[in-house]
Amino acid sequence: MTRRTLRRLLGRATLYAAAAALTAFAGFPFYWMLVTAFKQNRDLYVGASDLRHVPWVFNQSPTLDHVRLLLHGTEFPHWILNTLLIVAVVIAVTVALAVPAGYSLARLAGRWGERLGIAIFLTYLIPPTLLFIPFSRLVSLLGLQNSWGSLILIYPTLTIPFCTWLVMGFMRSVPWDIEEQAMIDGYSRLAVILKVVPRLIVPGILSVVVFAFTLVMQEFVYALTFISSVEKMTVSLGVPIALVRGDVYHWGALMAAALVTSVPIAIVYNLFLDRFIESFTMGAVKG
C-alpha cells in the first residue's frame, strides 16, 4: 500500500468518524427524550449515589405511564390541533404577504428597495417582550382576548418582516433575463409574476414556510399573554403549564411531549434542508 493510498484512506476514515460523531451528537437529544419518556419514576429519580445506575439506558422495565398522563391527563391532543390550525393560517398569511412584498422590493422598488428591506428586517430584531404590551392593547380594542384570532393577528408581525427580507435576498439570485425573456415571448408583467416567478423561487417559498412553521410551534410569550383558557392553548404553552406544577416536574410526560413535537420539525427540516440552505446561500451571494 502506497503512502498516497494510506493518506487517502486515513482522510476518509477521519471524515466518516467526524460524520458519525456529529450524527450521534445531533441525535442524542432525541434518544434522551425517548428514554426519559418511557422510564419509570424510580428509574428517573434514583439517587446519584447508586453507582450501578446508568442514566442513559433503561435500568428497569419501560413504562407507558408518562404517555398516558400526557394523552389522558392533559389536553395535549387539543393543543396539537390548535397549534396546527394556527400554523396553517399564519403560513398562508405570511406567504401571501411576504413573497409579493419581497419580490416588489427586489424588482420594482429601485434603489429604495434595499433600504426598505433593511428597515423591514430591523423590525424583526425588536424583542417580543417590548411589543406584547402595545399588542395587548390592540388585541383588547379588537375584542380578541383569549382567542386564536389574537395569535393569528400577532404572529405574522414576527414572520413577515424576516420572510420578506429572505425573499428579497433570494430574488437577487434569480437572473432578470428569465423574466424579461418571458415578457418578450408574450407574457404580461402580471402573468410573469403569477406564473413564472413562483417556479423560480420555490426554495425561497419553502424557507418561508419552514421559518413560519418553526416560529409558531415554539413561540411562548404571546401565547401566554393572549390565551388563558386551557382548551385554546397551543402546545408550547399548554405543556409547561400542565406538567410543571410548582416545584414538581413531570419529566417523563414533558419529554414525551417534546419528542412528539420535535420529531415533525426535524423531519420537515431534513426533507427541505437542501432547498432551505439554497435559499440562504443564493441570497447571500447576490445580496
Nearest to 209 by CA among 256, 140, 255, 271: 271
286 pLDDT tier (thresholds 50, 70, 90): very low
Could you report the per-residue pLDDT of 81-119, keeping only the tens digit for each?
A: 999 999 999 999 999 998 888 888 887 766 776 777 777
- Local confidence band at 161 (pLDDT 50, 70, 90 cut-offs): confident
Q: What average pLDDT does the segment 201-229 reach? A: 86
Residue 131 has pLDDT above 50, yes or no: yes
pLDDT mean over 267-280: 66
All three cell numbers of 287: 445580496
**How large a percentage of the chain has pLDDT more than 70?**
91
How confident is the model over 30-55, as a mean pLDDT?
Answer: 79
Tell me what the mean pLDDT of segment 180-189 comes to.
78
User: How far apart are alpha carbons 206 and 259 in whole angstroms?
Assistant: 24
Q: How many helices (H) and strands (E) are present in the chain, helices listed first?
A: 15, 2
Phi, psi of 145 (to 5 degrees): -60, 140
Give the span between the Cα atoms of 276 and 208, in whole angstroms.
9
Domain locations in the chain?
66-286
Q: What's the confidence (pLDDT) of residue 249?
A: 86
pLDDT for res 84: 92
Region 206-213: mean pLDDT is: 85
Mean pLDDT within 36-59 = 76
Per-residue pLDDT tens over the stretch 221-258 = 889 889 988 889 999 999 999 888 877 888 889 999 99
At how many degrees (to 10) do helices 76-107 and 112-124 cross? Answer: 160
Distances (CA, A) of 117 to 96, 107, 165, 204: 17, 12, 6, 16
Q: Is 1.10.3720.10 the CATH number for 66-286?
A: yes
Cα atoms found within 13 Å of the Cα of residue 21, Cβ hemisphere only: 6
Write the pLDDT tens digit of every residue in 53-75: 777 788 888 889 999 999 998 89
pLDDT attached to residue 79: 92
More confident residue, 91 or 120: 91
| 9 has pLDDT over 90 | no
Backbone φ and ψ of 244, nearest 5°? -120, 105
Helix or strand or coil: residue 14? helix
CA distances from 136 to 130, 149, 216, 271 (A): 11, 13, 18, 37
Q: Give residue 85's pLDDT.
A: 94
Please state, for a pLDDT cut of 90, what percent of the chain lies above it: 21
Question: What are phi and psi for residue 282, nearest 5 degrees?
Answer: -65, -40
Average pLDDT, the chain: 83
Report pLDDT for 287: 42
